[in-house]
Amino acid sequence: MPRSQLVNYAEALEQFANKLEKKRSIKVGSFEEFTRNVWSKGYEHPEYFESWHVSLICNDVEKALQDGYNYVCVMPRLHLKSTVLGHSFSVWNFLRSTSGFDSDILYLSYSDGLAQEHIQNINRYVRRNEQLMEWMEDRSPDADYAFNYHISECNARILHGGIFSFKRGLHVNKAMIVDDILRDPENPLNMTQMAKIENFFYDESMFIPNKEAIIVVIGTPMLPGDLLTKLKSDERFQYRFLPALDPMPGKRVLFSMLFNEDWLLRQQSSRPNSFAKEFLLAP
């Protein structure tokens, strides 16, 4: 070892104490607390994370995790479902426990390119968040599509894959996020393709996470009877269905900060068919 790297006993003790203090300082709280108080700080509109439905889905997925269930959330696009249940949840899941073992999450989308875009977004909002950068050491700072961080002496990675292209035999120990596997940005999918996705999901994807890892499925329905609909009756999953209007008893609008009732009703009047598919989740 070069002489410049040698330290005396007092310096070594101080370095060890600093590492312990850094490890103790990671206090993320509940998933809802983390999302509202920490994750939101990287966004232009952190107030969006105060919306009632953010609290609901945060508590949903944390309860599913505690009770040993997987979780499905069906919501319209642009309602923070990927931001909260894909991006924020992945980072919180790494930070909430430091078991001493390296951790992996798989982000699965229709194509590998779509999954890479999600990882790019996660990196973007981690890197602009001062609190997260204090807790997490970026091991791949020049790589947009690689989530590779050092947290409390452990490595945390998010892998990416497409529903038909991920590596066979892969296993992850923290979670699998299944985000928009029914959507091909280039071409609408037909029933034959939907059936193929369903078969791959049940026969291949479901066996990627280890037993203790949660599967979180996020999406907007594409066709009647598609995978998102069928998961409602799967006893391994807790299920949440939240259309933009009348999502729950006593709630008229899902995300009033961004889409108020007047705007939604105007869209419904002008384009009823597309509105029903995109906002009412009725393809």
Task: Give how far the C-alpha of residue 251 lies from the chain's centroid of Cα atoms, to the nearest Å.
Answer: 25
> Tokens 């999406």 map to which residue?
219
Residue type, 55: S
Is 124 a residue whose pLDDT tops 90? Answer: yes
Mean pLDDT of 181-205: 85
Q: How confident is the model at residue 11 (pLDDT cuts 50, 70, 90)?
A: low
**How far apart (Å, rounded) are the C-alpha atoms in residues 104 and 91?**
11
List C-alpha distances in Å: 64 to 89, 221, 232, 237.
13, 22, 14, 8
Count CB neighbours of 91 within 10 A: 27
The 10s digit of each residue's pLDDT in 19-76 is: 544 444 688 899 999 999 999 998 999 999 999 999 999 999 999 999 999 999 999 9
The 10s digit of each residue's pLDDT in 201-255 is: 999 999 999 999 999 999 999 888 899 999 999 999 999 999 999 999 999 999 9
CATH number of 23-241, picked from 1.10.287, 2.40.128, 1.10.3470, 3.40.50 = 3.40.50
Residue 253 has φ and ψ, to the nearest 5°, of: -125, 140
The rounded mean pLDDT for the chain is: 89
Q: How confident is the model at residue 4 (pLDDT cuts 50, 70, 90)?
A: very low
CATH 3.40.50 in the chain: give the residue spans: 23-241
Q: Within 13 Å of residue 283, how many CA atoms lie on the same side as its CB?
A: 19
List C-alpha distances in Å: 100 to 23, 148, 154, 155, 241.
11, 16, 6, 9, 36
**How far apart (Å, rounded) are the C-alpha atoms in residues 72 and 50?**
21
Is 184 a residue whose pLDDT tops 90? Answer: no
**How far apart (Å, rounded) are the C-alpha atoms in residues 5 and 89?**
39
**For the chain, what percent of residues have pLDDT higher than 70?**
88
CB 245 within 8 A of CB 264: yes
Would you call 101 exposed, middle or buried from its count of C-beta atoms within 10 A (0-12, 13-18, 19+)? Answer: exposed
For residue 188, the model assigns a pLDDT of: 72
CB 138 within 8 A of CB 149: yes
Nearest residue to 118 via CA among 219, 244, 45: 219
**How far apart (Å, rounded) are the C-alpha atoms in residues 209 and 255?**
32
The 10s digit of each residue's pLDDT in 139-151 is: 998 888 999 999 9
CB 74 within 8 A of CB 127: no
Global pTM reads 0.88
